[in-house]
Amino acid sequence: MFRIYIILVLVAFFGSAFYYYKDTQARLQQAAENLAKAETAAKANELAVKEMIKHAENLQVAMDGLNAQLKEAEAYQDRLAQKLRKHNLTLLAMKKPELIEKRVNNASKKLLEEFEAITAVPASQ
| Same domain, residue pair 61 and 44 | yes
Confidence of residue 62 (pLDDT cuts 50, 70, 90): very high
Among 10-14, 19-23, 36-40, 54-58, whose mean pLDDT is lowest?
10-14
DSSP letter for each residue of 34-98:
HHHHHHHHHHHHHHHHHHHHHHHHHHHHHHHHHHHHHHHHHHHHHHHHHHHHHS-HHHHHHH-HH
- Does residue 107 sit in the same domain as residue 52? no
pLDDT attached to residue 26: 93
38-49 average pLDDT score = 96
Mean pLDDT to the nearest integer, 83-104: 81
Say whether pTM exceeds 0.85. no
One domain for residues 81 and 100? no
Name the residue range of residue 28's domain: 2-86
Q: Are residues 102 and 62 in the same domain?
A: no
38 and 61 co-located in one domain: yes
Residues 67 and 23 in one domain: yes
pLDDT above 70 (res 22): yes
Residue 78 confidence (pLDDT): 94
- Kindly report the CA angle at 32 between 28 and 33, in degrees rounded to 5? 120
**12 and 60, same structural domain?**
yes
81 is a domain residue: yes
What does the mean pLDDT of the chain come to?
90
**CB-CB contact of 99 with 92 (8 Å):** yes
Q: What percent of the chain has pLDDT over 90?
A: 54
**Average pLDDT for residues 34-52, to the nearest whole number?**
95
115 falls within a domain: yes
My answer on whether 99 and 80 are in the same domain is no
Residue 92 lies in a domain: yes
125 within some domain:
no
